[in-house]
């Protein structure tokens, strides 16, 4: 799902629930993706090996 940062301000709780459910939410500004909201579980899987000490 893509949403502008302006739209996201009004529906942030809904976006968090959707991310928790496994959906990636892309935040756009002037039509370009600037950030992505994902669940903590997905974040942990993606970064598990990147930050091993």
Determine which helix (DSSP H) or strand (DSSP E) holds 37, and give its type and residue range: strand 32-37
Asked if the model's pLDDT at residue 52 lies above 80, the reply is no
Strands lying side by side in the sheet with 32-37? 2-4, 25-29, 32-37
Q: What pLDDT, on a 0 to 100 scale, did the predictor assign at position 53?
A: 62
| pLDDT band (50, 70, 90) for residue 48 | confident
Asked if the model's pLDDT at residue 49 lies above 90, the reply is no
| pLDDT band (50, 70, 90) for residue 21 | very high
Strands 2-4 and 25-29: parallel
pTM assigned to the model: 0.83
Residue 46 in tokens? 């993606």
Average pLDDT over residues 5-24: 96
Q: What is the DSSP letter of 50?
A: T
Q: What are phi and psi of 10, to 5 degrees?
A: -85, -20
């Amino acid at each position: 799902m893509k949403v502008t940062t302006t739209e996201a301000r009004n529906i942030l709780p809904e976006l968090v629930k959707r991310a928790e459910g496994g959906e990636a939410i892309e935040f756009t500004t002037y039509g370009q993706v600037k950030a992505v909201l994902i669940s903590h579980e997905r974040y942990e899987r993606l970064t598990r090996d990147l930050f091993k000490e």
